[in-house]
Amino acid sequence: MGYPDQRFDVNLSILFTELPLLERPAAAAAAGFTAVELWWPWIETPTPPQAELDALKKAIDDAGTHLVGLNFYAGQLPGPDRGALSVPGEESDRFRANIEVAADFAASVGCTALNALYGNRVEGADPQVQDALALENLVLAARAADRVGAILLVEALNKPESPLYPLVSAPAAIEVVDRVNAATGLGNAKFLLDLYHLSMNGEDLSQVIKAYAAKTGHVQIADNPGRGAPGTGSLPLERLLDELKDAGYTGRVGLEYKPGDRPSAEAFDWLPETARADR
């Protein structure tokens, strides 16, 4: 048990960001990782030129890496936004325009997990209207994910850092997962369990794992406080990942932490090199 018993991937939108996007897969491979994930890389557009999509696919393939997770368009992330799918008007339209683009790109690189960030509450908008819009868009996203053999992920964030985001607990995200699955009948909506976010919300992480491991499609980690590498804070991440495995979770664990003041390549000393490659 312990870290060497897990299957890790590196989030290239928070690690290796000192490098241009197309150089990050090779940098992750040089650090010993073969699996990577990404937030939607084109924050300005849900529909980038095909040449840019092709260039990213080539960079991933040439590095010998495998993209295992991709966010749908989520607005300015990192930045003020936390998704687009529940935001009425232009942002919802942009999310919809992105659905098939993201799904097709995922299919082209064999990525089987697509994360749909819910979006912030908007001043002056009825929360019930936002939730109805969210369900419509999540149903479309779930169907597109199913078309390419992927799951749809719904993530809980943390209230201190995302005060306008409505899904700031595991039960809140699970409720949305269940609603989407009931609407589609596909069963491919899953919970993205981020131990950092849930710990920031003060949730009982062991209890969350027991309750929701069966509905979890992906896990992400960072230590708390600080959102740094494991060992820089006080979360018992190794034990919690063992608990997930014991509860039946067999998926990957995304490394979504800040490297601190050092280059990203030096931020993995907590993890033996032999445990970094996907298997």
Q: Check: CB of residue 5 under 8 Å from CB of residue 243.
A: no
The CA-based dihedral angle spanning residues 8, 14, 19, 24, taken in that order and rounded to the nearest 10 degrees:
30
Q: Which residue reads 């590196």 in tokens?
A: 10
* Cα torsion angle, 263, 222, 219, 75, sign: negative
DSSP 3-state of 195 = helix
Q: Check: CB of residue 203 under 8 Å from CB of residue 228.
A: no
Q: Which residues pair with 9 in a beta bridge?
A: 254
Q: Provide the b/e sequence for 95-115 (b: ≥16 CB within 10 Å).
A: bbebbebbbebbbbbebbbbb
Specify whether 273 is catalytic: no
CB-based contacts of 274, cutoff 8 Å, min separation 6:
4
Q: Which of 155, 203, 238, 243 is catalytic?
A: 155
Q: Which of 91, 238, 243, 256 is catalytic?
A: 256
Specify whether 155 is catalytic: yes
The residues annotated as belonging to the active site are: 155, 256
